[in-house]
Structure 1
Amino acid sequence: MSLKILQLIFVLLVLIICTGVSQTPVYVSDYADNRPLKINGIKILRDKVEKYGLFEIILDLQGKYNNPFDPEEIDINCIFIDPDGNEIKVPAFFYQDYERKIQNNVEILNPVGKPHFRVRFSPTKVGNYKFYIIAKDKTNNVVKSDLYSFTSLDSKKSGYIRVSSSDFRYFEFENGDPFIPIGANICWAGGRGTFDYETWLPEYAKVGCNYFRVWLGPSWTTFAIERSSIREYDLKNSWRLDYLLNYAEKMGFYIMLCFDSYNELRYRKEEAYGMWESTPHYIQNGGILKEPKEFWSNEEMQRLYRNKIRYLVSRYGYSTNVFAWEFWNEIDIISPSAYIPELVKDWHSKMSNYLKSVDPWKHLVTTSFSGSSGKPEIDSLSGIDFVQTHIYQGSNYIKYLIGLFNFKSEYKKPHIVGEFGLDAGGRDPYLDPKGFAIHNAIWTTLLSGYAGSAMSWWWDNHIHPDNLYFHYKALSDFISGVNFPKENFKTIESYKFVNTDRDIRLIGLKGEKNTLIWLYDNNVIYNYKKDIPKILLTGPNFLLKLDNLNNGTYKVIYWDTYNSKSIKEEIIEVKDNIANIEVPNFERDIAIRIEFLK
């Protein structure tokens, strides 16, 4: 065979191989731009804002980019210089304004104006801030704005929520005020969208709640930002979340934003509401993954997830009413083929570090598991600021809640019950029409050392239609004025009951100024078919002998845990470090608050 023939065969083979290699198509958004990079204008919405308030800029910027949501295509940052000369970098985000209306009981959003880039920032110091914009498009051209300024005024706002510096079990604001989260999951709405929240949140506010949880995925949820793509974000749902955050601030609520749920990486055939086949991650839906397990190792998927984190922080991170970022809802029940422990752990470690690196306001970070015991290898990561428990159990859950608190105390982090119910299948309204399980769970958690009250899952088919909000009022009123992080609470372990043969159980915390106790009759506490109980019954009182209290004078308040009122109050003297508490005869449960006077 001649040399020329061999060369021809080689060329043909190369052509066959090259034409057989599939090229990843360039993603082009409907919002792509192909004009020369230029800053046409900067509009400052307010040049004076309160400390911890919202400073916002509208950018008129053009450039050459295929996707305004991808910083590799168009990277716009605002560099802020605080009064002490420190620089803070905040990315711009792509935005479309809307107006909302209700039509046939469905929320309709109509666009207002043209889409554009914005910058949001919250100053944490009082004084003069300077800033400038710097942008780079896909051609690597760079433009930089002039230097601008605004003034941050003093305010009475409490700041961002942190883990308490006094007691790792609890949360507090930057100014040192305690934050004890009391509330429920309110993860999505019905067809009425944000209008549903204007029905629900005022009811929670009336009873002293201050906290709820929202999902940003899967793609069908009210605030899903990845509704149809993982490369760009749904501007309507992003605006809905803007609206909800603003409304939450007005109403005094703090939100845990959950980025994703296990459903997205679970096959339909595996049941438990798996929806992999319809998720935007799936290659057949325009995504990049052929199967769920690739989520943890695909480099492009990691880049796109970092882009999502960047977008969420740049758009919502300014808000002090963002309580925490939550990576996953129940990540341990994705497809068994996709849950690879080392990869999931490594992903949480890397993403939590990245999130903290791009969030100048340092919001708290968490994740959650379906298994109530969690995953120690992830819960113990330094990038996870607090741990959660999800528990659905029809009986003896009080015992298990206390056991789970003790088990996870080794992490030395705040611990909240992120989901609670009797039945994960949705039968709580039938099993417990009066909400006794919600009642039991919120009193158990807060008085056993958890950072807040257990969060019921059934907000739209149980709490609201059955009007169970009152359960929260009794608890929030009972703890009013108690500074949990400063109390140095210890679990009450040394006590005894006298003059009763009932199976009375005690859960409580003894602090430096306040001792908080919840007593319940174990024989009736799991009975859900009765009406709201009477606190005072005929019959003799019984004695609670409480050890290890400091000698002195105390005020004892006996509390109706259903009607949220004091049954009676008395002054007692503690001698020999023993308090003798005359407990009224009650039907189901009662709370007692003991305040040190002198």
Structure 2
Amino acid sequence: MYPPQTGNRGIVLRVTCRVALTLLILDQLATASATELAYVRVSPRDPRYFELSDGTPYIPIGLNMIRPPEDGLAGMERWFAKLSAQGGNFVRIWLSSPFFDIEPARCGVFDEERAKRIDALFALAKKYGIRLKLCTEHFRHLGEGTQAWAARPQLLIQNGGPAKDTADYFLGEAGKAHYKRKLAWYAERYNCDPIIFGWELWNEMDAVRANVWEPWSAEMLPELRRLFPKNLAMQSLGSYDHEGKRERYRRLCQLPGNDVLQVHRYLDLGASWAICHGPVAVLAAEAVKDLRSFGIPKPILLAESGAVEPNHTGPFKLYAKDRDGIILHDVLFAPFFAGAAGPGHIWHWDVYVDKNDLWWHFGRFAEVVRHLDPPAEHFEAVELEHPRLYVYALHGVRTTLIWCRDKENTWQTELAEGRPPETIRGALLQLPEQWQVEKAKTIRCYDPWNNRWQELRLANPLALPDFQRSLVVRITTASTEP
């Protein structure tokens, strides 16, 4: 027992608290600094998932945010702030968009003012804790095509560039040397900055007006690795929406040096595959399952998704009715529960996510994966049969996550037909006996539409509470929270 203190106890207490607070702040700064210096990498514990170079698990929660709005970086900061406030930690940027393009006028002449915009982008990313996937190019032709946004005529020889036509840019030595010089410029200025999630060679390169994507990618992926040895390297192809794409995607996934297996797929009533016309949950999950079937143990991401007018002629007109964000919800949840390394990344960040104020959906996904360490779990992706629900499960060493999605609530029923979601009552979920649910430590369910957790009784089948649209179940066999 300590003797009673006398005198200026209040002063001692205040000083002690100040010291403790100072130590806490210093500890937090040290932790933040360590996290800032950690790079995103493929996890050595499970190569299907990501982690930071300090071993911290990393799930890329975010979206495509290709360019800022009309008010420039101030508008992009608003978007970053909204995403970060909901637990978001990832965006994809096109460095070739007009706002950031470092070669806006003449081939080989790098614009310092545009470079400063990229510098400011990096500063914003660090301020809000958002890792950047940087896509270096997106053009599809040098003037021969009809899409003005996809043209790069300054690369033609007659305009001071290195190529006589589109194919020559990718196959000729002068064109390839030009692209490598541009990569070298980025490397010299940004030097594997850890805020970079990774470098993406091209946006949907098989859409280029020349059959060049495979040999060119095979040559340039090692160049990315050489210049950015601490950042991830990747490539992308166009929407996975017809049979001809299957083998193309297989070859992309098999390319040496391609660290991340990316797939793009949209709800598109003009696509030849019927799956692209149906429920978003299914088209998103099946895209991931197809890439998993190639048997390549690397992280998979649904890197572009959403809904478009037929044949990608514009944003989906029914976005205006999707005030609750059912399309975004399915894009986020379905891929991860089908075995992807993160949620899906929606495309229409401005005319859909921001316009409908749907940022809260990222927070709901972040809540589901809070304290989750996917590489430690060695998840097995499983689908369970149910008459009313799509049931996608991740069965892990200590944690099992299950996403239940109402089959009768889709974009067709809710947005096209105007039918509100039904309340599912008394649903029972039969789980595999080998999961030994009765021995679990806890079973909790989460309603992502109402942001509410509740405990469930340890039993098999599980009795689910009443819910609308979707529900997440989390089963733990050991403590997974700090």
Sort the TM-score into its range (normalised by shorter chain). 0.7 to 0.9
Residue in structure 2 matched with residue 209 of structure 1 by the alignment:
88
Q: For 1:158 and 1:351, how far apart are their aligned partners in 2?
A: 26
Matched, 1:191 2:70: yes
1:432 matched residue in structure 2: 322
Q: Is the CA contact (8 Å cut-off) linking 1:349 and 1:381 kept in structure 2?
A: yes
Which deviations, in whole Å up to 9, do the C-alpha atoms of 1:252-300 show, x marking residues without a partner? 100100001143457333x4x5643x53212343322221111122211
CA RMSD of aligned residues (A): 2.7
Q: Go from structure 1 to structure 2 and tell me whether the alpha carbon gap of 1:533 and 1:164 turns closer, same or farther (over 3 Å shift).
A: farther
Aligned twin of 2:127? 250
1:425-450, CA deviations, whole angstroms, 9 ceiling, x for partnerless residues?
11252363432111111110111110
Q: Partner residue of 2:115?
A: 238
Q: CA separation of 1:455/1:532 partners in 2, compared to 1, >3 Å: closer, same or farther?
A: farther
TM score, norm. by length of structure 1: 0.67
Within a 5 Å distance, the mapping from 1:456-471 to structure 2 comes to 456-471=346-361
1:209-247 deviations in Å (ceiling 9; x for gaps): 1100000115xx211112112312121111111111111
In structure 1, how many angstroms separate the alpha carbons of the residues matched to 2:266 and 2:156?
30
Cα offset for 1:585? 2.4
Amino acid at match of 1:243: A
Q: 1:593 to 1:534 in 2, by over 3 A?
A: farther
- CA shift, 1:532, in A, is 12
1:307 and 2:186 matched:
no
Structure 2: distance between partners of 1:180 and 1:528: 30
Whether contact under 8 Å (2:287, 2:302) holds in the other structure is no
The farther-off stretch of 304-313 and 221-230 is 221-230
Residue aligning to 1:228: 105
Structure 2 match to 1:554: 441
SS at match of 1:214: strand
1:399 paired with 2:271, answer: no
Which protein has greater RCO, CA pairs closer than 8 Å, 6+ apart?
A: 2
Gap change, CA 1:392 and 1:266, over 3 Å in 2:
farther
What's the CA shift string for 1:84-134, capped at 9, x where partnerless?
xxxxxxxxxxxxxxxxxxxxxxxxxxxxxxxxxxxxxxxxxxxxxxxxxxx
Structure 1 vs Structure 2: percent identity of aligned residues? 25
DSSP-derived class of the 1:203 partner:
helix
Q: Which residue of 1 aligns with 2:472?
A: 591
Amino acid at match of 1:357: R
CA offsets per residue over residues 155-185 of structure 1, 9 Å max, x none?
4546111111111111111111111001111
CA contact under 8 A between 1:158 and 1:173: conserved in structure 2? no
Structure 2 letter corresponding to 1:302:
K
SS at match of 1:411: coil
Kindly report which structure 2 residues correspond to 1:501-512, keeping only aligned pairs within 5 A, or say none: 503-512=388-397
1:111 corresponds in structure 2 to none
**Number of positions where the alignment pairs a residue of Structure 1 with one of Structure 2:** 425
Asked if the contact 1:262–1:330 (Cα under 8 Å) also holds between the matched residues in 2, the reply is no
Aligned partner (choices 405, 422, 425) of residue 520 of structure 1: 405
**Counterpart-to-counterpart distance in 2, 1:467 and 1:558:** 25
For residues 571 and 162 of structure 1, the distance between their equivalents in structure 2, rounded to whole angstroms, comes to 38
Note closer, same or farther for the CA distance 1:158–1:592 as it changes in structure 2 (3 Å cut).
Answer: farther
Counterpart among 360, 366, 372 of residue 482 in structure 1: 372
Partner AA of 2:326 in structure 1: F
SS in 2 for 1:516: strand
Alignment partners' CA distance in 2, 1:496 and 1:260: 43
Give how far 1:368 is off: 0.6
Structure 1 residues 178 and 532: CA distance shift in structure 2, 3 A: farther
Q: Cα gap change, 1:232/1:196 in structure 2, threshold over 3 Å: closer, same or farther?
A: same
Q: Distance in 2 between matches of 1:229 and 1:387?
A: 34
- 5 Å matches for 1:78-227? 155=34, 157=36, 159-218=38-97, 221-227=98-104
Q: Which residue of 2 aligns with 1:87?
A: none
Deviation string, structure 1 residues 39-97 (Cα, Å, up to 9, x no partner): xxxxxxxxxxxxxx9xxxxxxxxxxxxxxxxxxxxxxxxxxxxxxxxxxxxxxxxxxxx
Match of 2:233 in 1: 365
Aligned counterpart, 2:206: 332
Q: 1:442 is matched with which residue: 332, 357, 364?
A: 332
Give yes or no for contact 1:490–1:511 (8 Å, CA) kept in 2.
yes
TM-score by length of 2: 0.82
Q: 1 CA distance for matches of 2:219 and 2:389? A: 48
Question: Are the aligned partners of 2:42 and 2:50 in contact in 1 as well (CA < 8 Å)?
Answer: yes
- Provide the rounded CA distance (Å) in 1 between the counterparts of 2:252 and 2:143: 20
Match of 2:223 among 351, 354, 363: 354
Q: Secondary structure, in 3 states, of the residue corresponding to 1:325? A: strand
Give the corresponding residue for 1:151. Answer: none
Deviation at 1:193, TM superposition (A): 1.4
Q: Which runs of 5+ in 2 are unaligned?
A: 1-28, 241-245, 268-276
Greater helix proportion: 2
SS at match of 2:182: helix
Structure 1 counterpart SS, 2:445 = strand
Which residue in the other structure is 1:24 paired with? none
